[in-house]
Structure 1
Amino acid sequence: MIYIYDSVLRDGAQAEGISYSVEDKLKIVKKLDEFGISYIEAGNPGSNPKDADFFKRLKGVSIKNAKVVAFGSTRRPGIKTDEDNNVKALLEAGVNTICIFGKSWDLHVTDVLRTSLDENLNMIYDTVSFFASEGYEVIFDAEHFFDGYKANADYAMKTLKAAADAGAKFVVLCDTNGGSFPDEVYEIVSKVVNNISVAIGIHAHNDSELAVANSITAVKAGASMVQGCINGYGERTGNANLCSIIPALQLKLGYECIPDDNIKMLTSVSKYVSEVANMQHDNRMPYVGDSAFAHKGGMHIDAVLKNTRTYEHIDPESVGNERRILMSEVSGKSTILSKIKEIEPTLTKNSPETKMIIDELKKMEYEGYQFEGAEGSFYLIVKKLLGKFKKHFDIKYFKVIDQIPWDLQTSATAMVKVAVDGIEEVTAAEGNGPVNALDAALRRALERFYPVLKSVVLTDYKVRVLNSDGATAAKVRVLIESSDREECWSTMGVSTNIIQASWDALIDSIEYKLAKEEDKKQK
């Protein structure tokens, strides 16, 4: 059994751009508990009022599987443990598991704490023994252990022994600066496992892009706890990414980390944490990224369609992800055909309709369209070319007015007139920019006829200049991502007019949603 210890709410909160509310933290705790994480490090109640308030709120939350951990430091030099304010805050947190971090690098003891090496050992022993004697499960994080071991192995080991003798259940070796290599980690962890009587953990930072490798190596050397963060969030370049560590250990190496049935939740958990943290989900993350099983090269796609093992190291569904076949100028005929058959299964590579569709797609790509990542527009184009597209509304006109002086909340106004089955609707809306205003006005006009559109939100907007030599007259490609909380889809528009390109992408987004609703009714 490998105990997974998630610190996305504490160490992960130190990442640039992340600032959780108390409600955010409560949501993530519930999700990680449902997922099957063993330990959830929820914050440092002695560091800020928000974490103190969070632990108060947490007392009313039902936690079924995980142990929630309060994090804090050893007592300060020269005072009694029960007089330390941080220790008092940990006692008030109301949890049964405490993680205490202490210095294991002599450089930090002398230059940061500015105390003696013996006093640092006393601080570790006194603080761990204080909580252990009170009945708490204590985890000791040996901060900067690997750097400390390389500088003064004897003293670094003494810090671990002090924590173990004081009653720590786990002693965790931290590569806090993230500078260690896997061979070093394996050698050092092996020695610690053979010389320290309690269970050993690993806490790796990613400054050398080795946090995942070092964590897995530590397990192979005998560590039984892995600390890290969902999505690898953390200070500087982040912490060990549990979204890579968990499937590597469980699916490939046979270690039990979370309940077997829960491993399929991994991708949804990763995206959920991104959403709550208000961070863009990294498409290129292994296992859980949208690009993790996305195939673009023609020969690669042809091979995957014949045997998925040719270019996939695991089954995407085993971690709750999915295979994606991308459309691009390097796609072969079989690639495009496979995407067409998802829409019209009766077509073959020799069907005249197939040739017509491929020819039209190639022509559009030459004009600047790119269907990689714009499956929504691809779907609509194929439907239109096959004569199976049902137009749900007509646009009579639209108008956009920029406002001066500028207001950050309402810098533009849009007016839209639509017609559905001969019934016209005129609406106007303000927005933060012309595209936001157009989006709001269009949805407001159509929601009268199609209430299902109330669930649709625009989640991303990208613009790319296609021919920069055209300066302000350059052609642009606009990619819009939309979501209805269940599915995400992308659509595009291409024009020398950025408003027109955006409008075309917005229209496709709405038409795609309505078309998919029609498909559901026919099944």
Structure 2
Amino acid sequence: MSKKIEIYDTTLRDGTQSEDVNFTIADKVKIAETLCDFGIRYIEGGWPGSNPRDIGFFREVKKSSVPIDHVAAFGSTRRAKRTCDNDENIQALLEAEVPNLTIFGKTWDLHVTEALKIELEHNLEIINDSIAYLKSKVDRAFYDAEHFFDGFKANKEYALKTIKAAMDAKADCIILCDTNGGTMPLEIAEIIQEVKKLTGDYPLGIHCHNDSDCAVANSVVAVVNGIVQVQGTINGYGERCGNANICSVIPNLQLKYGYECVPADKLSRLRSVSRYINELGNLKHNIHQPYVGRSAFAHKGGVHVSAILKNARTYEHIEPELVGNKQRVLLSDLSGKSNLVYKAKDFGLDIDSNDPKVNSVVDRLKELENKGFQYEGAEASFELLMRKTMGTFTPFFDSISYRVIDEKRSNSDNPMAEATVMIIVGEEQEHTAASGNGPVNALDRAVRKALAKFYPRIADMELVDYKVRILSSGEGTESVTRVLIESKDKDSTWGTVGVAANIVDASYQALMDSIEYKLLKDKERTN
């Protein structure tokens, strides 16, 4: 039977200290529900003594589906000149009315003498009676030994005395914190072994920051050396360089070492949890993030693709589906026939790698990429390219011409954009104009207007992202540009690309591909 490791998530407190992370109370409650459903044991909701938003969270989470036994509040030991009964922070913790409280205290003698400016023995008293007081009031009191590893290296004897003070007060778990994030994995292992000479089987946890890019490794090493609780954040959010990323910690421990961090049948939700919380925070997904990133199991080189078609283990360390991800093959000028055959199967096309048309697609792909096209984020454009080159695509319309007028009549007026398009569908010609918020929006509206009576479901489609990149440096406003457009309907999301020296033309190419792809998929769904 696998050993269970408690995952203590601090996304809603430590994670929000990241400069680009900001959650509303409603967001925080949704995240707590998601984490609880995923199987996270403890969810730290915030510091109720520090701000109204965290106080609001503890009020609202009690109305949610999250069992209160999973919720923890965070705070500090009492102040040096206060007792626990009259310390505002301690009392605010109790007012959160949750069964799990975590407080941090000073371990590094530098902080005691320079920051608190008190005697070392006085700090031990503060740690002991703060924990003992909370233990008498709630189900569980955890102790975060702040700056433990730096404190241990500076003054081993005193750092261990702070741990002993927490043990004597019966803390439910003592968490060793690498607060500055500068400790190396081998140091973590050595120091934990030294600590265990004092603590024996007493429950210990680990809380790592990522300033030396070792937070995940340090957390894993700590568990291998006897730690039973790991603190971290979803996607590694946190102050400075972030905290230990539990989206990596969990699969590393569960799939590589056999520990149980979340129920086995829930591990496949990991990627969706990662992405959902990014979306709530309006944060860009890190496509290169291990396990959950879009590129985590993406293959580009022809040799790689040829190998994974025979056996995925040749270039994948786990089955992507175990964490809710999937294998992807990218298309570029590095592509060989294997990439195209793989992608064709993805698109539902049955082709033979020996078909001479495959060589035509490879040649056409390399020719276009040499001009600046990129299909790694525009697979819809590539599917259209493949179908057209192989002669399996029937056009839905012919685009004859377009004209765009972008006019600003005075400094006080907003610019006005108008687009005119001429399109042929079957035997009918449509010559239509539309205005819009800029030339691209005007073009989009005009094309839709022209096609609407032939393909009414085009109204379901919307543009959700638009990116422009300059490809030729040193040419100023004459530079070649690449436009990537992301579109969606109720069934799916897809990307298309256009490249031209004229940004409007590049946008038009991407827009037309997006519309053609929408019509293609609608036709396939109805057949």
2:64 and 2:8 mapped to 1: Cα distance? Answer: 19
Deviates more, 1:225-234 or 1:161-170: 161-170
2:121 corresponding residue in structure 1 = 118
How far 1:394 sits from its partner (Å)?
A: 6.0
How much identity, in percent, do the aligned residues show?
49
- Count the aligned residue pairs: 519
Residue number among 227, 231, 245 corresponding to 2:231 in the alignment: 227
1:518 aligns with 2:508: no
- The one of 12, 23, 26 equivalent to 2:26 is 23
The SS at the match of 1:44 is coil
Whole-Å separation in 2 of the counterparts to 1:436 and 1:66: 51
Does the 8 A contact of 1:418 with 1:446 survive in 2? no
Closer, same or farther: CA 446–31 of 1 in aligned 2, 3 Å: farther
Q: Which letter maps to 1:158?
A: K
1:185 aligns with 2:188: yes
Counterpart position of 2:94:
91
Corresponding residue of 1:262: 266
Distance 2:257 2:116 in 1: 41
Distance in 2 (CA, whole Å) between partners of 1:87 and 1:406 is: 59
* 1:36 corresponds to: 39
Matched, 1:215 2:212: no
Counterpart for residue 133 of structure 1: 136
Deviation track 1:364-410 (CA, whole Å, cap 9, x = no partner) reads 223222222321100111222344435456666453526577899x7
Letter of the 2:182 counterpart: G
Q: Which residue of 1 aligns with 2:60?
A: 57
Q: Provide the residue aligned with 1:287 in structure 2.
A: 291
- Of the candidates 456, 464, 478, which is equivalent to residue 458 of structure 1? 464
The CA deviation at 1:160 is 1.6
The answer on 1:507 being equivalent to 2:512 is: yes
Paired residue secondary structure (2:475)? helix
Contact 1:417-1:426 within 8 A present in 2 as well: yes
| Runs of 4 or more above 6 Å deviation | 404-408, 418-421, 443-448
**Superposition pairs for residues 365-514 of structure 1, below 5 Å?**
365-392=369-396, 397=402, 399-401=404-406, 403=408, 413-415=417-419, 428=434, 430-431=436-437, 434-435=439-440, 438=443, 449-451=455-457, 453-454=459-460, 456-459=462-465, 461-484=466-489, 487-514=492-519
The code of the aligned residue for 1:362 comes to: K
- One-letter code of the match for 2:70? K
Q: Write out per-residue CA displacement over residues 148-176 of structure 1, whole angstroms, 9 at most, x where no aligned residue.
A: 01111111112122222212111000000
Q: Which amino acid aligns with 2:229?
A: M
Q: Distance in 2 between matches of 1:435 and 1:167?
A: 65
**2:341, 2:245 → 1: CA distance?**
37
By how many angstroms is 1:443 displaced?
6.2
After superposing the two structures, state which structure 1 stretch, 41-50 or 174-183, moved more: 41-50
Contact 1:491 1:509 in 2 (8 A): yes
Task: Tell me the distance in 2 between the aligned counterparts of 1:447 and 1:97.
Answer: 58
Q: Which secondary structure does the structure 2 equivalent of 1:226 belong to? A: strand
> Structure 2 unaligned runs (5+)?
none
Please point out which of 98, 101, 106 is paired with 2:104: 101
Question: How far off is 1:63 after superposition?
Answer: 1.1
Pick from 316, 321, 326 the counterpart of residue 320 of structure 2.
Answer: 316
Superposed CA deviations along residues 247-299 of structure 1, whole A, max 9, x for unmatched, are: 01001100000000111011111111111111111011111111111111111
Partner of 1:166: 169
Structure 1 stretches lacking a partner, 5+ long: none
State how far apart, in whole Å, the 1-side matches of 2:198 and 2:331 are.
56
> Greater CA deviation, 348-357 or 202-211?
348-357
Change in CA separation of 1:131 and 1:451 when aligned onto 2, cut-off 3 Å: farther
Aligned pair in 2 of structure 1 residues 233, 87: CA closer, same or farther (>3 Å)?
Answer: same
Segment of structure 1 superposing worse, 36-45 or 253-262: 36-45
Q: Spell out, residue by residue over 1:184-203, the C-alpha distance to the aligned partner (whole angstroms, 9 max, x if none).
A: 10011122233225310000
Distance 1:415 1:85, change over 3 A: farther
CA distance in structure 1 between the aligned counterparts of 2:321 and 2:475, rounded to whole angstroms: 45
CA distance in 1, matches of 2:149, 2:409: 59
Residue 102 (structure 1) shift: 1.0
Question: Structure 1 465/388 Cα, relative in aligned 2: closer, same or farther at 3 Å?
Answer: same
Within the candidate set 257, 273, 281, 1:277 is matched to 281
* Counterpart-to-counterpart distance in 2, 1:447 and 1:201: 61
Which whole-Å CA distance do the structure 2 matches of 1:13 and 1:284 have between them? Answer: 22
Task: Report the counterpart of residue 331 of structure 1 in structure 2.
Answer: 335
Aligned partner (choices 204, 210, 220) of residue 206 of structure 1: 210
- Note if contact 1:172-1:203 (Cα within 8 Å) is conserved in structure 2: yes
* SS at 1:54 equivalent: helix
Write the distance in 2 (CA, Å) between the matches of 1:112 and 1:406: 56
C-alpha separation in 2, matches of 1:406 and 1:166: 71
Q: 1:265 is matched by which residue type in structure 2?
A: R
* Residue in 2 that maps onto 1:72: 75
The one-letter amino acid paired with 1:86 is N
Tell me the CA shift for residue 34 of structure 1.
Answer: 1.1
Q: Is the 8 A contact 1:37 1:65 kept in 2?
A: no
On the 8 A contact 1:393/1:418 being kept in 2, the answer is no
Change (3 A) 1:115 1:254: same
Partners of 2:255 and 2:68 lie apart in 1 by 21
The one-character-per-residue Cα deviations of 1:308-349 (angstroms, maximum 9, x if unpaired) are 111111111111111111111111222223223433543212
Cα distance in 1 for residues equivalent to 2:420 and 2:341:
37
Per the alignment, residue 250 of structure 2 pairs with 246
Q: Which stretch of the first structure deviates more once superposed, 478-487 or 284-293?
A: 478-487
TM-superposed CA distance for 1:466, in Å, is 2.5
Q: Secondary structure at the match of 2:56?
A: helix
Contact 1:36–1:65 under 8 Å retained in 2:
no
Question: Which of the numbers 195, 198, 201 marks the counterpart of 2:198?
Answer: 195
Q: Partners in 2 of 1:371 and 1:181 — Cα distance? A: 40
Q: Distance in 1 between matches of 2:431 and 2:196?
A: 73
Structure 1 residue 519 displacement after superposition: 2.4
Instruction: Report the alpha carbon displacement of residue 100 of structure 1 after superposing the two structures with TM.
Output: 0.6
- Alignment partners' CA distance in 2, 1:504 and 1:32: 42
**1:512 alignment partner AA:** Y
DSSP-derived class of the 1:468 partner: coil
**Normalization by structure 2: what TM-score?**
0.91
| Structure 1 range deviating more: 131-140 or 192-201 | 192-201
Q: What residue identity is the alignment partner of 1:140?
A: Y
Q: Does the Cα contact within 8 Å between 1:457 and 1:484 map onto a contact in 2? A: no
Partners of 1:33 and 1:66 within 8 A in 2: no
Hey, what's the Cα distance between the residues in 2 that align with 1:288 and 1:234? 18
Tell me: CA distance 1:483–1:345, structure 2 relative to 1, closer, same or farther (3 Å): closer
Higher mean C-alpha displacement, 415-424 vs 46-55? 415-424
Q: Does 1:300 align with 2:329?
A: no
Of the structure 1 ranges 179-188 and 54-63, higher mean CA displacement relative to structure 2 is found in: 54-63
What amino acid maps onto 1:517 in structure 2?
A: D
What is the one-letter code of the residue matched to 2:282?
N
Q: Secondary structure at the match of 1:142?
A: strand
Tell me how far apart the structure 2 counterparts of residues 381 and 492 of structure 1 sit (CA, whole Å). 11
